[in-house]
Amino acid sequence: MPQHPFSLSLLLLLLPLLWFYLFFISIAAQSKPTQPTCPSYNPCNGLNISYPFWRIDDNQTQYCGYQGFGINCYTINGEEHPIILFDQASYYVETIIHEFASIILVDYDVSPMVPVGNQCPSVRHNIDLQRLPLDFSSYNVNLTFHFNCTGVPEFASEIPCLDSGGRKSCVNVMSSELQDFDWGIYSCGEEVLKTVLNANLPDGDRIGTDFGGVLSRGFELRWRSMEDCGKCEESNGRCAYNDITTKFMCFCSDGSTTTVDCKKGTFNSSFPHLSNLLVDFISWGA
């Protein structure tokens, strides 16, 4: 391959440019603001709390993570309990699997953390996810509980431990065929829907006696990117929130904070052009 006559002199010409380029990059890197960063993880009794979840601490004014995804770490009897609240109901956080954007939760009342009452726990509230970016996973099924009924339909499983004054309670796995069933004929007191993991259902009719154990193994939610956070995450940022300013923030990996995403700044728009130019010149010269 014949040498281009100008290649050496061109390279010498470009060397100072290259030097300036590297110099400015190092300046930019050094002058990065020391903004808050996202903790890579925060342990609570073996649970790794990490983005988009965050650990709720005292006197915290801003956090890195999604609104509503804060996890309390209460110490009860010397043991840490990771608890998340949805609509004022407490859920024990069993597992977080980032790979699948999956979180396994257990109603706190029936969780292994509450040693009493698992045999015949009271089943009180439906879960309300409000507008959080969480969905029930397809590994769940829904159980419907009916209390204080005059009888128990064939498809449901009676709950002997909840019989009260001749009134019966029962549970059944929800299905589309049963959606329209008229419970009116049994004059039940109330209906509560509970989501559980399908794999934990017992065989046959035992759900009426084993429901406490099934509930205590929880259910799965999958999280998705929070609204308004997409642009920040796509630019490798982490969404954050300030309680005092009530402002959304995007924490960038270089330590800076923006209100939209991490693509902003002259660094991005001007320097890459120079480096492209350099590459063009050198390949042209060789």
Cis peptide before 5 (omega within 30 of 0): no
Consecutive H or E run containing 147: strand 140-149
The whole-angstrom distance between residue 237's C-alpha and the CA centroid of its chain comes to: 16
**Which residues lie below 8 Å from residue 112, measured CB to CB, with a gap of 6+?**
92, 106, 118, 216
CB of residue 12 to ligand NAG, shortest distance in Å: 30
In whole angstroms, what is the distance from residue 109 CA to residue 117 CA?
8
With binding defined as CB under 6 A, does residue 174 bind ligand NAG? yes
With binding defined as CB under 6 A, does residue 48 bind ligand NAG? yes
Q: Are 205 and 157 in contact (CB under 8 A)?
A: yes
In whole angstroms, what is the distance from residue 133 CA to residue 222 CA?
8
User: In the chain, helix, strand, coil percent, each to 5?
Assistant: 30, 30, 40
Q: Closer CB to ligand NAG, residue 7 or residue 256?
A: 256
With binding defined as CB under 6 A, does residue 222 bind ligand NAG? no
Mask of contacts with ligand NAG, 81-120, x by CB under 6 A? ----------------------------------------
Q: Closer CB to ligand NAG, residue 3 or residue 130?
A: 130
Using CB under 6 A as the binding rule, the residues of this chain from 27 to 46 that contact ligand NAG are 41, 46
CA dihedral 116, 219, 54, 84 (to 10 degrees): -40
With binding defined as CB under 6 A, does residue 264 bind ligand NAG? yes
Q: Closer CB to ligand NAG, residue 26 or residue 122?
A: 122
CB of residue 28 to ligand NAG, shortest distance in Å: 14
* Given 141, 207, 239, 240, the residue binding ligand NAG (CB under 6 A): 141
DSSP 60-74: --EEES-TT-EEEEE
Applying CB under 6 A, the span of 29-37, 81-89, 141-149, 202-210 interacting with ligand NAG comes to 141-149
Number of residues that bind ligand NAG (CB under 6 A): 24
Using CB under 6 A as the criterion, which residues of the chain lie in contact with ligand NAG when the complex forms?
A: 41, 46, 48, 58-59, 126, 136, 140-142, 147-148, 162, 164, 167, 169, 174, 189, 193, 195, 263-264, 268-269
